[in-house]
Each structure stands twice: as C-alpha cells, then as structure tokens.
C-alpha cells in the first residue's frame, strides 16, 4: 500500500475506532407549492338562472383578456397556448375563458344564441370584478367576439381576431346543408378528437411538445365531459348561428383592433380579413403570415401576446437563429425587425420555432 493511500485512510479514520467520517449527502429539495396542471374550470350560477363555466389563468392583478376559443372548445381551451405560458406570465396577462352552449361542462339549450353568450361572459367578468378587458377570438370564436363587442363596446379595451370567422360577408358553405346532413358531416370528427384536431403534416404546431395530445384531450372534454357521448346537436346549433346575417353593428367600438391571418388557411381564408376590415376600417394592425394556415393563432401566439400586452410597435423575431445556430429571441421595434428580416438575419417568432 502506497504512502499516499495511507495518508488518505489516516484522514478518514477517527480516533482509531475504524469509523469513517463523511458529510451527509445534500438534503433533497421538494417544492413548497404545486405546479399547475392547466386552468381549473369553475362554475358560477348567474342572476338569470344559467350556470356559466369558466377558467381564470394568471395573476388576478394582470391585464385581463377574454379568450374565446374556436368552435368545439371548452373553457379549458386556453391551455392549448401554454407552450408560451412563461411569456404570458412575464407580460402580465390574465386569460379568462367562458364556455359556450353545449360544450364541455355546459348543458345544451337549443334556445340560446350568441347574445346569450355575450350576456354570460359579461356576467362572469362582473363576478370577477373585471370592468375593462381585451378580447382575443380564435376561428369560430369570431362571431361571439363581434356580438360581445357590439353589446359592450365601452368595456372592450382591444379586440384581437386570429383566423377568426366573420359574421359578415358570404355565408360559410355548410349553411346550405340541412341539419341532418350537417350532423352527419361532423359526427365522425367529433367522435374522434384526433380527426377534429388534425393539422397538416407540415403544420408548425407539430413541433410543440405535447401539443397534439393536449388538443385531443380538449376535444374529448368538449364533446364528452358530461357524458353527452359526442352528441352533434350543440355543434350543429353553433354552426347554424354562424350562418346568421347580418352581423352586429360594430360602429360603436372605439378600441384598437388587430387582425391575424394565415395565407395558407383554407378554413378561414385570408380574404375573410376583408370582411372584418369593412366592418372595422380603422383596424390598427393587420398581420398576415405566409408560413401559416389555420394554425396562425398558435404559430404566432408569441406576437399576439406581445400585441395584447401593449407592445404592438414591436415584432418578435429570432435573430441569427436556425436549427443548431443558437439564435436569440428579440422583441424589436418594427423597423429594426424588418431590416433584419430583409437581410435574412432573422425569422419571425421565437427561436423555439427556428430550432425545430
């Protein structure tokens, strides 16, 4: 045995007892609070007798945003945007979502329409002591956003419409179908959320970890939560409401309006933005994206968040990024962002997209 080894052993032996002195391993750390599993759906009995189901996510002192999901979504649909939850929290945004007739936890009543939803949403905001709020509407949430903005224009501080179906202009093609034919058309899709929430193979949402499974869970919740076993009646009823013309008068709305569209969108084609623009000619921003279809609300959710937080003069870009390049996400003034984009030194959105 070498001298060095004997020296080490001698340092470890205590008083010749043969016991080895060693520091205990570091104390394992266990958190003091719970991590969120997504928004909690709450029930509120309203003055009119109906029960509204809603979620409320974020600091209650944050900027309130009424999130109106697309058709076939529950009050928990805002969870599908949690891939940028850290950014949302850093920007101080509070998302509130009120469920629509017949979806998720909410019982179906064939006598209700978009105006009833607006009434319920405002009642929930009153219950939460929220006076003024931003509205963001996605896809089939568009007609409901228009109804609410027309009903309470003084309470809407900003209106953001992402791939949003307008209740103006030409009716959707399904309006020519009878109720039975329409029910047959949607039945197979709503029975299988994988079909209802299918995106093209080249959709950027495919790069979001867990997005597909979160969407499938949302579809299952929407159509089966109360044991309704994918009854197509609420879906048919809602799509019939989309056929109503004319849409509400928005001339009393003074709040800034933001429009977002994907040039590859075949569900709510880019030309539908023109229908919104005719009703809202003073739209503050119209953002269209060549890289998006009917997923623009997710692919550019980072920009929508920044706009909703009051930084609409800035553009989210990945500077000097790309797969393996280690770019840096910047939120630059629009002129600087445009300069980098034109030089090929940046791409739109967070570097999270560029790394995929």
Domains in the chain: ranges and CATH = 38-312 (3.40.50.1820), 313-356 (no CATH)
Complete edge-to-edge strand list for the sheet that includes strand 346-348:
328-333, 314-319, 346-348
Lowest mean pLDDT among 12-21, 112-121, 331-340: 12-21
Q: For residue 326, what pLDDT is reported? A: 78
Give 47's contacts (C-beta < 8 A, 6+ positions apart).
123
Q: For residue 311, what pLDDT is reported? A: 98
Please list the residues that pair with 160 across neighbouring strands. 136, 258
Main-chain phi, psi angles of 213, to 5 degrees: -65, -35
**Mean pLDDT score across all residues of the chain:** 94
Give 96-110 pLDDT, tens digit per residue.
999 999 999 999 999
Residues 241 and 259: their CA atoms lie apart, in Å, by 22
Give 139-186 pLDDT, tens digit per residue.
999 999 999 999 999 999 999 999 999 999 999 999 999 999 999 999
Q: Give the model's confidence band at 316: pLDDT under 50 very low, under 70 low, under 90 confident, else very high.
A: very high
DSSP letters spanning 261-289: EETT-SSS-TTHHHHHHHH-TT-SEEEEE
pTM of the model: 0.92
């Amino acid at each position: 045995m070498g001298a060095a080894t004997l020296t080490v052993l001698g340092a470890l032996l205590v008083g010749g007892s043969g016991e080895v002195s060693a520091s205990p391993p570091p104390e394992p750390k266990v958190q003091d609070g719970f991590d969120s599993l997504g928004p909690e759906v709450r029930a509120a009995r309203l003055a009119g007798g109906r029960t509204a189901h809603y979620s409320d996510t974020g600091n209650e002192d944050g900027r309130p945003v009424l999130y109106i999901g697309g058709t076939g979504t529950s009050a928990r649909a805002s969870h599908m945007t949690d891939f940028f939850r850290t950014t949302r929290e850093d920007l101080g945004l509070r998302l509130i979502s009120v469920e629509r007739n017949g979806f998720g936890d909410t019982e179906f009543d064939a006598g209700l329409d978009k105006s009833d939803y607006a009434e319920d949403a405002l009642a929930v905001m009153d219950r939460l002591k929220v006076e003024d709020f931003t509205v963001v509407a996605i896809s089939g949430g568009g007609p409901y956003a228009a109804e609410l903005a027309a009903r309470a224009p003084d309470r809407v501080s900003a209106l953001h419409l992402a791939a949003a179906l307008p209740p103006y202009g030409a009716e959707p093609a399904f309006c020519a179908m009878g109720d039975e034919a329409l029910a047959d058309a949607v039945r197979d899709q709503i029975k299988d959320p994988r079909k209802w929430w299918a995106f093209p193979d080249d959709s950027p949402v495919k790069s979001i970890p867990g997005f597909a499974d979160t969407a499938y869970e949302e579809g299952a919740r929407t159509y089966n939560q109360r044991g309704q076993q994918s009854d197509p009646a609420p879906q048919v009823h809602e799509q019939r409401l989309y056929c109503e013309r004319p849409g509400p008068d928005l001339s009393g709305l003074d709040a800034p309006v933001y429009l977002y569209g994907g040039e590859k969108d075949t569900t709510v084609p880019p030309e539908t933005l023109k229908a919104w623009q005719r009703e809202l000619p003073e739209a503050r921003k119209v953002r269209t994206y060549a890289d998006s279809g009917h997923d623009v609300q997710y692919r550019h959710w980072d920009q929508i968040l920044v706009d909703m937080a009051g930084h609409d003069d800035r553009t989210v870009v990945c500077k000097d990024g790309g797969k393996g390049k280690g770019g840096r996400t910047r939120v630059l003034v629009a002129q600087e962002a445009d300069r980098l984009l034109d030089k090929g030194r940046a791409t739109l959105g967070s570097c999270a997209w560029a790394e995929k």
